[in-house]
Structure 1
Amino acid sequence: MSDLKYLFAYSIPLMTLVSISYNGILTFATPLYAFIFIPLLEIILKDYDREYSESQKEKRLNNILFDILLYLNIPFVFGLLAYGFWVLETKSLTPIEMVGIVLSLGILLATNAINVAHELGHRKTKGEQTLSKLLLLPCLYMHFYLEHNFGHHKNVATPEDPATSKKNQSVYHFWITSVLKQYKNAWQIQLSILAKGNHTYFSLKNDMLWYSIFQLCYLDLCFLFFGTSGLLFALAVGVLSFVFLETINYVEHYGLVRKKLPSGRYERVQTHHSWNSNHIIGRIVLYELTRHSDHHFKASKKYQILENKKESPQLPFGYPTSILLSLVPPLWFWIMNSRIPE
Structure 2
Amino acid sequence: MCLTTWETMMSAETNPAKPPDSAAAAIEPVWRDSKRYLWLWGLFAPTGVFTIAIPLMIGLNALGWHRLAEVPFWLGPVLVYIVIPLADLFFGPDGNNPPDEVMEYLENDKYYRYLTYLYLPFQYASLIFACYIIAAPNLHWLGFEGGANVIDKIGISISVGMIGGIGINTAHELGHKKVSLERWLARIALAQTFYGHFYIEHNRGHHVRVATPEDPASARLGESFWAFLPRTVWGSLRSAWHLEAERLRRLDRGPWTLNNDVLNAWAMTVVLWLGLIAFFGPQVLPYLILQAVVGASLLESVNYLEHYGLVRNKTASGRYERPAPEHSWNSDHIVTNIFLYHLQRHSDHHAYPTRRYQTLRSWDGAPNLPSGYASMILIGYFPPIWRRIMDKRVLAHYGGDVTKANIQPAKRAKVLAQYGSEADQ
TM-score (norm 2): 0.78
Counterpart residue number, 1:243: 297
- Give the alignment of 1:56-205 within 5 angstroms: 56-90=102-136, 91=138, 92-111=147-166, 113-205=167-259
Partner of 2:383: 329
Shift of 1:20: 6.0
Relative to structure 1, is the Cα distance of residues 203 and 34 closer, same or farther in structure 2, using a 3 angstrom cutoff? Answer: closer
Alpha-carbon offset, residue 203 of structure 1? 4.0
Deviation at residue 262 of structure 1 after TM alignment? 2.4
Give the letter aligned to residue 119 of structure 2: N
1:100 corresponds to which letter in structure 2?
G
* Post-superposition CA distance 1:86-130 (Å, at most 9, x none): 11111412222222211210111111x101100000000211101
Q: Distance in 1 between matches of 2:99 and 2:234?
A: 42
Question: Aligned equivalents of 2:86 and 2:262: distance in 1?
Answer: 41
Q: Which runs of 5+ in 1 are unaligned?
A: none
Please tell me whether residue 253 in structure 1 is matched to residue 286 in structure 2. no
Aligned match of 2:35:
2
Higher mean alpha-carbon deviation, 93-102 vs 4-13, is at 93-102
Q: Which runs of 5+ in 2 are unaligned?
A: 1-33, 58-68, 139-146, 399-425
Once residues 286 and 93 of structure 1 are traced to their aligned partners in structure 2, the CA distance between those partners, rounded to angstroms, is 31
Task: Output the CA distance in 1 between the equivalents of 2:360 and 2:266.
Answer: 33
Match of 2:285 among 231, 234, 237: 231
TM-superposed deviation, 1:204: 4.3
State yes or no: 1:16 paired with 2:62. no
Contact 2:191 2:266 in 1 (8 A): no
User: Quick one: structure 1 residues 20 and 310, their matched pair in 2 at CA, closer, same or farther if it must change by over 3 Å?
Assistant: farther
After TM superposition, the score normalised by the length of structure 1 is 0.96
For 1:323 and 1:179, locate their aligned partners in 2 and report how far apart those are by CA, in whole Å.
Answer: 17
1:25 Cα deviation from its structure 2 partner: 1.4
Counterpart Cα distance in 1 of 2:276 and 2:213:
38
Offset of residue 308 of structure 1:
1.0
Supply the distance in 1 between the matched residues of 2:71 and 2:272 (Cα, whole angstroms). 30
> Which has the larger helix fraction?
1
CA deviation profile, 1:264-293 (whole Å, cap 9, x unmatched): 111110011110010010000111111111
> What's the offset of the Cα at 1:294?
0.9
SS of residue paired to 1:290: coil
Runs of 4+ in 1 over 4 A off after TM superposition: none
Distance 1:221 1:166 in 2: 40
Q: Quick check: 1:277 aligned with 2:331?
A: yes
Whose relative contact order is higher, 1 or 2, with alpha carbons under 8 Å and at least 6 apart?
1
Structure 2 residue identity aligned to 1:64: K
When Rg is computed on C-alpha atoms for both structures, the one with the higher figure is: 2
How many residues end up aligned between the 2 structures? 341
